[in-house]
Amino acid sequence: MLVGHPRYRVDQVWEGLYVQGKDPAELTNLPKVLRGQLDEVAPAALRVAAQQHADRGDTIKTLWELHDGRLIESVLMHYPGRTTVCVSTQAGCAMACGFCATGQAGFERHLSVGEIVEQVVRARRSAADSERRLSNVVFMGMGEPLANYDRLWGAIRRLHVDLGLSARHLTVSTVGIVPGIRRMATEPEPVNLAVSLHAADDELRDALVPVNRRYPLRELTAACEDYLAAKGRRLSFEWALIDGVNDRTIDAERLAALARRLRAHVNLIPLNATPGYPTTGTPPERVAAFRDRLEDLGANATVRRNRGNDIDAACGQLAARPRTDLQPQVTEVQPPTRRL
């Protein structure tokens, strides 16, 4: 559609739509007719349905409505030295982990490449509005990234090539889909791999993460080892600490042994409350004790700072509400806080 337009025009369109993440209507440096044409051929894939702020504006959860009315969420997080967006790869999720709000709600559909990329483009723009540069993308929102492999990788390529984000600043988080991890090892982009482990023995993991029955720990850890050997990237394990379930001494010992063997970094996340799971998170002093135990046993571990608990934006709390609930929830976007 830009055939016949001068080169600088093409650059303006590219800069506006992709680099700055604007809507066609906002590209006031273009002729009006062209803006209208762009809006027709490249309408925004995502519409803001609601937005909530927490952590004094450093955490922003956006509920997006897709063209077919489905809802997904992404979370933008500003830290002192970096800005990260956590994006969704599916509407809903089929993995059925009982402690996760998205898992409790079930699967709706895969997101397209455009729907995944646009979450990042819009986050980048929102970050720029607060004079921050989006540096990291984690595929840790709603859905299982490796169950939507081709579109996930299409999005990763575009983030890398078109948006210039380094693959080293992209992290794919998986429940442990072994064929997906093996495919990742053959890709040219060396992204980080995070595995949602939660248990280091098959009996407990079968109960917490149902896909473990299909891909048990032995196969999962072998695939992780091969990924590390192929890519040389850091592996991390996510471990949601559930009171009395996976926070025992034996759990720390098993986890430490595995983390040491794979040289994985352990991210401990005290379980966040979800409506459909009766158990609560490990209390803070025992979370610290669990971390210390891991360190004593020679494993690297940090407690993940919980972002956005009060707005249900924390890990495992993303569950888009039905449309009928939406209208009253739209909160005003606060003016960006200037930070240097």
Catalytic residues: 73, 315
User: What is the rounded distance in angstroms from the CA atom of residue 117 to the CA atom of residue 31?
Assistant: 26
User: What is the rounded distance in angstroms from the CA atom of residue 144 to the CA atom of residue 118?
Assistant: 18
Residue type, 68: D
Name the residue nearer to ligand SAH (CB basis): 125 or 182.
Answer: 182
Name the residue nearer to ligand SAH (CB basis): 108 or 238.
Answer: 238
Q: Return the DSSP state at 97.
A: -
Give the x-and-dash track for 186-205 against ligand SAH (CB under 6 A).
----------x---------
Does 308 participate in binding ligand SAH (rule CB under 6 A)?
no
User: What is the rounded distance in angstroms from the CA atom of residue 303 to the CA atom of residue 268?
Assistant: 5
Name the residue nearer to ligand SAH (CB basis): 38 or 93.
Answer: 93
* Of residues 177, 179, 137, the one with CA closest to residue 159: 137
Using the contact rule CB under 6 A, the part of the chain among 3-11, 75-83, 157-165, 172-180 near ligand SAH is 172-180
Name the residue nearer to ligand SAH (CB basis): 44 or 313.
Answer: 313
Give the x-and-dash track for 94-133 against ligand SAH (CB under 6 A).
-x---xx---------------------------------
Does 173 participate in binding ligand SAH (rule CB under 6 A)?
yes
3 state DSSP class of 78: strand
3 state DSSP class of 181: helix
Least Å distance, CB 314 to ligand SAH, is 7
Using the contact rule CB under 6 A, the part of the chain among 6-14, 44-52, 121-129, 168-176 near ligand SAH is 168-176
3 state DSSP class of 144: coil
Name the residue nearer to ligand SAH (CB basis): 111 or 140.
Answer: 140
Using the contact rule CB under 6 A, the part of the chain among 10-18, 28-36, 73-81, 167-175 near ligand SAH is 167-175
- The residue at minimum Cβ distance from ligand SAH is 316
Does 136 participate in binding ligand SAH (rule CB under 6 A)?
no
Near ligand SAH in 71-100, by CB under 6 A: 95, 99-100
Contact predicate 38/17, CB 8 Å:
yes
Give the x-and-dash track for 246-285 against ligand SAH (CB under 6 A).
-----------------------x-xx-x-----------
Least Å distance, CB 211 to ligand SAH, is 9
Least Å distance, CB 313 to ligand SAH, is 12
User: What is the rounded distance in angstroms from the CA atom of residue 23 to the CA atom of residue 21?
Assistant: 7
3 state DSSP class of 126: helix
Placement of tokens 């209390």 in the chain? 283
* Of residues 109, 65, 74, 73, the one with CA closest to residue 90: 109
Strand partners, 107: 92
Least Å distance, CB 139 to ligand SAH, is 7
Strand order in 59-65's β-sheet? 47-54, 59-65, 71-78, 83-86, 136-139, 170-174, 192-196, 235-241, 265-270, 300-303
Does 50 participate in binding ligand SAH (rule CB under 6 A)?
no
Token pair belonging to 184: 């990742």
Strand partners, 60: 53, 76
3 state DSSP class of 23: coil
Which residues are near ligand SAH by CB under 6 A? 95, 99-100, 140, 144, 173-175, 196, 238, 240, 269, 271-272, 274, 315-316
